[in-house]
Structures are given as C-alpha cells and as structure tokens.
Amino acid sequence: MSTIFIDSNVILYLLSGDSAKADRAEAILDKGGIISVQVLNEVTSVCLRKLKMTWEEIDTVLLAVNAACDVVPLTLESHEKAVQISKRYQLSFYDANICAAAILSGAKLLLSEDMQDGMKIDAIVVKNPFA
C-alpha cells in the first residue's frame, strides 16, 4: 500500500478549469495513493452540489478514483482519532477525519490544499501539491 494519502480537494482539481492543477492532480492519481470513504463522500457531495454533475458523470469519476487508489473505511477508531486531532490541532472535524484516516492507514504524507503546508500531525506531514 502507498504511503501517500490524497485529500478530496486534490481529486476535485481533476474537474477544474485550471489546467495546471488538473494536470498535477492527474499525475498524482496516476501514481496511486490512499483515500478514505470520507474523501469519496466529499467528492460526491461537491460534484452534486457545486458542480451540478449527473449521477452518471459522478459514477465515472468515482470509478476512476477507486481504480487509482486504495480506499480505507471510516470506523469508530478513525472517528475517535479525528475527535482527538480536531481538539489538539484546532482543525475542522472534516479535515481531522482526513488526517485520522491517513494516520491509521500508515500514510506518511497527506496531500491537501486545505491545511498548512508542512504541518506535522502525529505521524503524517501535510504537503500542498500545488504550492
């Protein structure tokens, strides 16, 4: 399994009008990585709510992401870890869920544009792949 965890914002750049970021996101997914069900949920929500995509279009995106990445589940353990992380690091609970899943999956690097580049959270380091 990869040691790189990919946040939903990186995946969503695949659908962006910003071709440089879309190309970078595609290159990241081509190498594979780890995501959680939380990432799939966030991607689905944005595709529906903000991008107004059809279910057929969303299914295509999700199939591609699932094929490229190892998907880890949400569990009681990941929830409890997210609560601890949110309290300790003052992160939003959704960002803390991403961090918890990354840590519990054994990832060493979390690719995200939403958190501080270089931030260390337990055993992971956050890196903004677009910086």
The Cα 126–Cα 110 span in angstroms is 5
pLDDT digits (tens, 9 = 90+) for 65-123: 999 999 999 999 999 999 999 999 999 999 999 999 999 999 999 999 989 999 999 99
Q: How far is C-alpha 64 from the geometric centre of its chain's CA atoms?
A: 14
Query: Whole-prediction pTM value?
Result: 0.94
Which CA distances in Å does 9 have to 39, 105, 129? 9, 19, 11
| Polymer length in residues for the chain | 131
Q: Please name which of 131, 117, 125 lies closest in space to residue 99, comparing C-alpha atoms.
A: 125
Residue 21 has pLDDT above 70, yes or no: yes
Structural domains in the chain plus CATH codes: 4-127 (3.40.50.1010)
